[in-house]
C-alpha cells in the first residue's frame, strides 16, 4: 500500500480537486518515462480502456482516452504539455467532462522520486461524489497503486535503492 505524504480530495458542486504526493524508489527518469507512455496507461489505470496519441509536436501531444466513471463510458481528448523530466500537464480540449485538467510532477528527493499529482474534474455525476466519496477516493488510490505496481514490474531490477547498494 502506498504511503502518501499528502492525499486531499475536495468536492465543490460538480468539481473534484485532488492533490496527492508520495515517493517511489525509482529514478525521476524512470517515473517520467512511464507517465508519458500514454498507450501503456491502460496497463496501470484500472478504469482506462483506451489511451492513444493522436498528434505529437516537440513538447505537446494530443491524446484520446476512453474509460469509465461509475460504470458509465466517458471519453476525453487532451492537450498534453511536457516539460522533459519534470512534468506532464494535461487539459481536456473536448470530451465528456465539463473540466478535466491536471499535472503529474516528478522530483528527485533523497535517492527516491517524489510524485505530485493534481487533478480537477468537473462532471454532473460528480455531484453524487459527496455521497460516493469512498468510491471516488478508492478509484484514485487504485490508479496510484496501479502506477506504483507498474513501476515495480517494469523497473524492479533497477530500483534507485538497489543502485546505491
Mean pLDDT throughout 103-109? 97
The whole-angstrom separation of Cα 15 and Cα 159 is 37
Class of domain 4-47+97-163: alpha beta
* pLDDT of 15: 85
* Segments making up each domain of the chain, as ranges: 4-47+97-163
* pLDDT of 159: 60
CA distances 30 to 12, 13, 36, 81, 165, Å, are: 35, 37, 10, 18, 18
* pLDDT of 69: 76
CB atoms within 10 A of CB 162: 11
- pLDDT, tens only, 36-82: 999 999 999 999 999 999 999 988 999 999 998 777 899 999 999 99
Amino acid at each position: 500500500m502506498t504511503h502518501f505524504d499528502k492525499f486531499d480530495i475536495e468536492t465543490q458542486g460538480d468539481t473534484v480537486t485532488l492533490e496527492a504526493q508520495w515517493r517511489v524508489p525509482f529514478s525521476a527518469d524512470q517515473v517520467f518515462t512511464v507517465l508519458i507512455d500514454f498507450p501503456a496507461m491502460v496497463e496501470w489505470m484500472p478504469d482506462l480502456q483506451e489511451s492513444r496519441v493522436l498528434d505529437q509536436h516537440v513538447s505537446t501531444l494530443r491524446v484520446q482516452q476512453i474509460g469509465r466513471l461509475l460504470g458509465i463510458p466517458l471519453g476525453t481528448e487532451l492537450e498534453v504539455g511536457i516539460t522533459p523530466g519534470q512534468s506532464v500537464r494535461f487539459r481536456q480540449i473536448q470530451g465528456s467532462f465539463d473540466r478535466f485538467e491536471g499535472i503529474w510532477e516528478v522530483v528527485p528527493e533523497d535517492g527516491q522520486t517524489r510524485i505530485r499529482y493534481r487533478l480537477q474534474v468537473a462532471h454532473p455525476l460528480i455531484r453524487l461524489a459527496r455521497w460516493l466519496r469512498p468510491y471516488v477516493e478508492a478509484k484514485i488510490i487504485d490508479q496510484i497503486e496501479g502506477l506504483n505496481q507498474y513501476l515495480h514490474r517494469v523497473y524492479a531490477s533497477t530500483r534507485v535503492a538497489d543502485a546505491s547498494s
